[in-house]
Every structure is written in structure tokens, then in C-alpha cells.
């Protein structure tokens, strides 16, 4: 494994990223650093990890998103790893536009497996690249905020930042 890392200060706390060969491989919050390290080690094995300033321009794009340019993260190249099913779910997540939420059932239908709601939810929860693979845009069937590895307060912040609405109500349910 030959990875470069960076830390991005934000209103959510420090955001930690790991990149390889021009692609984002991991993104988590400072308090999820250990979780990200385990995930990366599983995917790439032992190797060299070194800090870098704005690797491949990715930190700058995340900063732009946090500053209000919601489309700045849409084209960041990502390398998620995972099973074929997980990759299918994560690709579907990347197609959810900023400012939009869907339910876990919607996500399962989006990948053509309407009965796989729990499996889609589990894949959503194992997303190794928070924010850029926008798992925060998935909400409960009643519009309530559920499950986010970074914590529901961060999920709420991200959805508010994106001016997201759920279920046509004009607001995200708590």
C-alpha cells in the first residue's frame, strides 16, 4: 500500500482522507481514523502512508464542497474496494444529487433489488468514503435520520448544508 493522506479542518471536525494513484480511497472524520485505517489495511495490506498537502487536488475539492460548491465532489475519482454488491450500492449513492434524500427502500430499488433493503442498508453503513459517496443522503422510510457512522449530528449538518428535503415535506425529520 502506498497511500497519501491529508486532514481538512471543517465545522464537522477534522476530515481525514487517504488517496492512491489519483483516487480517493478513504474519507472519515478524525474520530473515525482507526476505523478508516482498519478498512484501508484490509484492502491494501501494509505499506507506506505519508502525509501530503491536497493530494491530487482532492482536499481542495472537498473544501470547496464544504464552502458551498455542492458539485465540487461529484467527479472525485474514488476507489472503494468492497464486494460487487457493495460497489453497486456505492455507485447508486453517487448518483443521488446534492439536496436530495432517498430511503433505504429507494436505494434497493435503484439497484434493481427491491427485496434487498437490509443488505443495501448494510452496504451503505460500510461505505469507506463518507461525504463523497454520499451515504448521508439515505434516510428512514418516514424521512427520519437513521444510521450514520459519523454520527447523526454530522448527517444532519451535511443535509442542512445541502439544503436537503425529505419526502416532499420541505424538511428533514428528526
Starting from the edge strand earliest in sequence, which strands make up the sheet with 23-29, in order? 23-29, 15-20, 2-8, 48-51
Shared domain for 9 and 68, answered yes or no, is yes
19 part of the active site: no
Higher pLDDT, 2 or 7: 7
The pLDDT of 87-104, averaged and rounded, is 95
pLDDT given for residue 167 in this prediction: 47
Of the candidates 8, 135, 139, 149, the residue annotated as catalytic is 135
Mean pLDDT for the chain?
Answer: 91
- What is the value of pTM for the model shown? 0.90
Give the H/E segment covering residue 26. strand 23-29
Higher pLDDT, 171 or 130: 130
The Cα–Cα gap between 120 and 111 comes to 9
CATH of the domain at 30: 3.30.160
Shared domain for 66 and 103, answered yes or no, is no
Shared domain for 109 and 47, answered yes or no, is no
CATH of the domain at 125: 1.10.10.10
Amino acid at each position: 500500500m502506498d497511500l497519501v493522506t491529508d486532514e481538512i479542518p471543517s465545522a464537522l471536525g477534522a476530515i481525514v482522507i487517504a488517496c492512491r494513484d489519483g483516487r480517493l480511497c478513504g474519507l472519515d472524520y478524525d474520530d473515525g481514523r482507526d476505523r478508516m485505517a482498519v478498512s484501508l489495511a484490509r484492502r491494501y495490506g501494509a505499506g507506506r502512508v505519508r502525509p501530503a498537502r491536497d493530494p491530487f487536488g482532492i482536499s481542495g475539492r472537498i473544501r470547496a464542497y464544504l464552502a458551498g460548491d455542492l458539485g465540487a465532489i461529484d467527479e472525485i475519482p474514488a476507489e472503494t474496494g468492497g464486494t460487487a454488491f457493495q460497489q453497486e450500492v456505492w455507485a447508486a449513492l453517487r448518483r443521488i444529487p446534492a439536496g436530495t434524500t432517498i430511503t433505504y427502500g429507494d436505494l434497493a430499488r435503484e439497484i434493481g433489488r427491491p427485496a434487498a433493503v437490509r443488505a443495501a442498508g448494510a452496504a451503505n453503513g460500510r461505505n469507506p468514503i463518507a461525504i463523497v459517496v454520499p451515504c448521508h443522503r439515505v434516510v428512514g422510510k418516514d424521512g427520519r435520520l437513521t444510521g450514520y457512522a459519523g454520527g447523526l449530528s454530522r448527517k444532519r449538518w451535511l443535509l442542512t448544508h445541502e439544503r436537503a428535503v425529505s419526502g416532499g415535506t420541505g424538511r428533514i425529520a428528526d
